[in-house]
Chains A and B, each alone.
Chain A
Amino acid sequence: MVRPAMSEEGHRPGPGSDESDHRGFANAAWAIPSYILSGMAVYGGLGWLLDRWLGTSALFPAGVLVGLALALYLVYHRYGRS
Chain B
Amino acid sequence: MLAEAMVLAGDDKVTGSLGAVAYGLAAIGPGIGVGIIFGQGVQAIARQPELTNVIRQNMLLGFALTEALALIGFVVPFVHK
A binds B: yes
Name A's B-contacting residues (CB within 8 A). 9-17, 21, 25, 28-29, 32-33, 36-37, 40, 44, 60-61, 64, 68, 71-72, 75-76, 79-82
In the complex, B65 has a CB within 8 A of chain A: yes
Interface size class of B (residues with CB under 8 A): 10 to 19
| Chain A contact residues, majority secondary structure | helix
Name B's A-contacting residues (CB within 8 A). 49-54, 56-57, 60-61, 63-65, 67-68, 71-72, 75, 79
Minimum distance in angstroms from B66 CB to a CB of chain A:
10
| Chain B contact residues, majority secondary structure | helix
A residues in contact with B61, CB < 8 Å:
75-76, 79-80
Minimum distance in angstroms from A13 CB to a CB of chain B:
6
Given A15-B53, A81-B57, verify A72-B79 contact (CB < 8 Å): no
Please name 20 further chain A to chain B contacts, defined as beta carbons within 8 Å, in addition to the given A13-B52, A33-B71, A36-B68, sorted by A numbering: A9-B50, A11-B49, A12-B50, A14-B52, A15-B53, A16-B56, A17-B52, A25-B60, A28-B60, A29-B63, A32-B60, A32-B63, A40-B71, A40-B75, A64-B79, A68-B68, A72-B64, A72-B68, A75-B61, A76-B61
